[in-house]
Amino acid sequence: QVQVVESGGGLVKPGESLRLSCVASGFIFSDYYMNWIRQAPGKGPEWLSFISSGSTTTVYADSVRGRFTISRDNDKQSVYLQMNNLRVEDTAVYYCARDLTTGGLADLWGQGTVVTVSS
């Protein structure tokens, strides 16, 4: 079955860290760029970052640059999002998504993992 499945969300306090994981199956993971996208309650989705198939290129949105780091392990068919210095405004559903091209066009999304940042 062609899918991506996110995990690692939870409730954390401002300033704390969290690492999200996404495991892919049913396709040749190493052929694809991968994205992280989030959606805060009541808002449209917000693209956060993508990583190239061989990890040579990473791009970030300004809102997370310097705090979040995307990485991948092709042997484990996985992509990760290390989130440091979390803020209340980072509260959202976080989605992992396969890219149809070379960044920004997500053709296969997971169901998401919920991150809540609250004191």
| Residues at the site binding another protein, with contacts judged by CB under 8 A | 43-47, 50, 59, 61-62, 95, 100-101, 103-112
Our CB check for another protein shows the closer of 88 and 100 to be 100
In this complex, which beta carbon is closest to another protein, that of residue 78 or of residue 113?
Answer: 113
Between residues 29 and 50, which has the closer beta carbon with respect to another protein? 50
User: Are the CB atoms for 34 and 21 separated by under 8 Å?
Assistant: no
Least distance (Å) from another protein to the CB of residue 109? 4
Residues in the chain, how many?
A: 119
State the nearest-atom distance from the C-beta of 119 to another protein, in Å: 27
Least distance CB 71 / another protein (angstroms)? 18
